[in-house]
Amino acid sequence: MPDKIIIVTGFGPFVGHEERNASWEAVNLLPDIFHFRKDAYQLQKYQIPVTYEEVDHIVPHIWNQNPDLVVHVGVHGKIRTINLEHCSYTSGYCKPDFAQRCLPCDKITLNGKHASDQECAMLKTNLNIERIAKELNLETKVECCCSTNVGNYLCGYIYLKSLDKNPDRALFIHVPKVNEPYTSEQTMATIYNVIGKCLEQLTAEQKLP
């Protein structure tokens, strides 16, 4: 079993996506082993229920495994591209989750690497998503875009939690609904390619063990 780990998450059903969530449909198709150069990575896949409580439970579990890369994937019903999210925000989380529960406060308290900066309004990934999108747009037929609008729901919430753990190794990808315009297989292939690009960057910057 490879000791190198990549973790990819997708979300379960929620309002407007009760029958299937395009994020999990794609993530679930990823292989269990990711080959990069001479290394084989164990690729763990998690389906996350769309609740704040589950995110609070799973994010520490994910990072306690010391993964080499964590990629969260969520569906966005109003896009027709694959969006690589640049950042997540620390406030604005007022919407009840799929269990109809709200957070006690819309301002998130950071307790990871940014715990000392409670005035922080935004956390950013250190991955160069502009380069990733540019390269994939040249190499594939799927359109990738960079975004700064991850939203103030569970997508933004899980991304913020992971960025607070390690902004070098965390990324969020928004995907469109299934077949609008991409099949689950096309979306999966794009996520796979993004993972490869992330590993290239982390290797070049000597951020991998």
**What's 135's domain CATH number?**
3.40.630.20
End-to-end CA separation in angstroms for the chain: 17
Who's near 204: CB < 8 A, 6+ residues apart? none
> How many domains is the chain built from?
1
pLDDT tens per residue, range 43-52: 999 999 999 9
What 8-state DSSP symbol labels residue 168? T
Q: Looking at residues 173-191, what average pLDDT do you find? A: 97
Single-letter amino acid, residue 42: Q
117: pLDDT confidence band, cut at 50, 70 and 90? low
Check whether 2 has a pLDDT greater than 80. no
Range of the structural domain that residue 164 is part of: 5-205
Q: Tell the residue number behind the tokens 């569906």, with chain if given.
A: 75
Who's near 104: CB < 8 A, 6+ residues apart? none
Pairing of strands 170-175, 82-85: antiparallel
State the pTM of this model.
0.94
Nearest one of 58, 62, 61 to 12, comparing CA atoms: 58
Check whether 202 has a pLDDT greater than 90. yes
104: pLDDT confidence band, cut at 50, 70 and 90? confident
pLDDT tens per residue, range 67-82: 999 999 999 989 999 9
Considering the chain, what percentage of its residues have pLDDT values greater than 70? 93
Task: Let me know: does 90 contact 160? Beta carbons within 8 Å.
Answer: yes
Q: Give the pLDDT score at 108.
A: 82
* Residue 149 buriedness (CB in 10 A; 0-12 / 13-18 / 19+): middle
